[in-house]
Amino acid sequence: MFELLHKKVNEIVALTDEEFNICRTLFIPRKLRKRQYMLQGGDQGKYQIFVEKGILRSYTIDEKGSEHILQLAPEGWWISDLYSFFTAEPSDYHIEAIEDAEVLLINRTSWEMLLKDVPKLERYFRILLQNHLIATQRRLMQSMSETAEEKYLKYMQTYPDCVQRVPQHMIASFLGITRETLSRIRKQVVSKR
């Protein structure tokens, strides 16, 4: 159950077995069924979630009732509401499994302990956040400058795996367009070939 986390961490910082064993004691493994929630809006985001298997998504619902997906997290990714996790404020996000999934959970106190006992992980998380920020900034700029079609094509290029596994209306919601628009774009794209 910890293979992927182990691998991912070691790509960035080398942990001794002893150090990684501390991880084993602090993370809570859990299996999720498709459509099962890890976090419901209004609750506190108690955990940082590492995805060992399956795909999860985080999303908000605006006043008009439309969903907007912040993250699609397949194997090897982290997902959480960072703000709620660190402030203990109620979350605006929902986090849900899109497929049956296996995750590793860590709560706030365990996380503090982990960083204290394995200070190397400060570096791991720093680099993780750095890459995450770079990707999010890029996505933001794309959302401002690209047409719906460009967004879709670029998304397919960047995350071809997700396109297969995630229903189209969720891709649309991730891209910030409606399902109807995405459907029309796909039709166009096919006919262009």
Q: How far apart are CA 81 and CA 159, in angstroms?
A: 22
* 168 near a second copy (CB under 8 A): no
Q: Which stretch binds DNA (CB under 7 A): 24-32, 124-132, 134-142, 171-179?
A: 171-179
Residue 188 dihedral angles phi and psi, to the nearest 5°? -55, -50
* 132 near a second copy (CB under 8 A): yes
Q: How far apart are CA 154 and CA 176, in angstroms?
A: 14
Question: Which of 35, 37, 42, 140 is in the footprint of a second copy by CB under 8 A?
Answer: 140
* 149 near DNA (CB under 7 A): yes
Q: Which stretch binds a second copy (CB under 8 A): 3-11, 45-53, 118-126, 159-167?
A: 118-126
Among DNA, a second copy, none, residue 86 binds (CB under 5-8 Å by kind): a second copy
Question: Residue 43 CB, nearest distance to DNA (Å)?
Answer: 21
Q: Which of residues 31-90 bind a second copy (CB under 8 A)?
A: 60, 62, 66, 68, 70, 82-83, 86
* Residues 6 or more apart whose Cβ sits within 8 Å of residue 129: none
